[in-house]
Amino acid sequence: MNNLEDSKLNKRSLQALETKKRIYESAMELFSDPKRSFDDITIDEITSLANVSKGSFYTYYESKEMVLVEHFEQIDEYYKFVLGKLPENASASQGILTMIYGMTEYCQNISGIQIIKIVYSSQISGSKSVRILNNRDRALYKHMDELISKGLETKEFTTVLDKDCIVEYLTRSARGLIYDWCLYDGDFNLIDEGQKYFSLILDNL
């Protein structure tokens, strides 16, 4: 392949990335409208706002739900970012509180409450929803599993509960906290409550 072909290939790749980005951002803009429901928003509206064809949407996403999946993949990347700032000698509890901080900060300050409401609503409302919140392949579960294992091995956690049980309880508690935040329409600081709530839980492990 010569330099001209390489240049054309790189240009096409950049154009494809730009198209996908426009679709994603247009979908998230529509999803963020508090006057609209997830089911009410059509793929035609998304592609019209993005100024792309409907076929382009299906090149990158199988459905509207898959846009939400991508959004949560970005949250999972954020976990890596915040956990990467921890010192090597950080305790398991520090790691968990840091991860909860990253989760609540992302939900409150980056996603915004309307997007989180749509995620929860779409997950609850029907069988067509792609499993996101309780997908055990997500980085959330993997990081939590590693941190709980560390806490049990170092005897930081002295509970009689086994690792899998603790992981399930903590992830379920995180979902419950965020759901409650949605129920109260963001009427409390999710980040602050997350730290208080999980500090109490971890103190009893």
10-residue stretch averages of pLDDT, the chain, 205 residues long: 54 81 91 85 92 91 86 82 88 95 93 88 68 81 93 94 94 95 96 97 92
Which uninterrupted H or E stretch holds 78?
helix 64-83
- Whether the CB-CB separation of 98 and 199 falls below 8 Å is answered with no
> pTM for this structure?
0.82
**Rounded-to-integer distance, Cα 1 and Cα 92, Å:** 51
